[in-house]
Amino acid sequence: MWTLDRDDGEFEPRRAPYVDGAWGRTANPNTVDGELQNMAAFGSGLSRMSAPRRAAAKAVVWLILIGVALTIVFGAIDIFRAW
């Protein structure tokens, strides 16, 4: 462990940044590893929420997923309509 000498001769341990236990390190959020780590952290936080806040968060996630699905469906319809 890295330590820092203080003037009085005592050692002060270095504080490490938050590291996710599954990866053992913080990942770059612009990579697949980082996205998986962010989703795991979101799920962990979601499980610790109170019931009303969890229901609201689930509703937001479902609305986002429905929006993505509708975008894919309408995009595919427009592609086939252009043929």
Based on the fold, state whether residues 68 and 35 are members of the same structural domain: no
Q: Which residues contact 13 (CB under 8 A, 6 or more apart)?
A: 1, 2, 3
Instruction: Compute the average pLDDT of residues 51-69.
Output: 94
Residue 59 has pLDDT above 70, yes or no: yes
pLDDT of residue 27: 73
Instruction: Compute the average pLDDT of residues 56-62.
Output: 93
End-to-end CA separation in angstroms for the chain:
64
Residue 5 phi/psi, 5° resolution?
A: -70, 130
Based on the fold, state whether residues 44 and 6 are members of the same structural domain: yes
Which pLDDT tens digit goes with each residue over 2-22? 555 555 556 566 665 555 555
Based on the fold, state whether residues 2 and 30 are members of the same structural domain: yes
Report the alpha-carbon distance of residue 13 to residue 11 in Å, rounded.
6
pTM recorded for the entire structure:
0.55
Number of compact structural domains in the chain: 2
**Amino acid, res. 45:** G
Q: How many residues does the chain have?
A: 83
Based on the fold, state whether residues 28 and 58 are members of the same structural domain: no
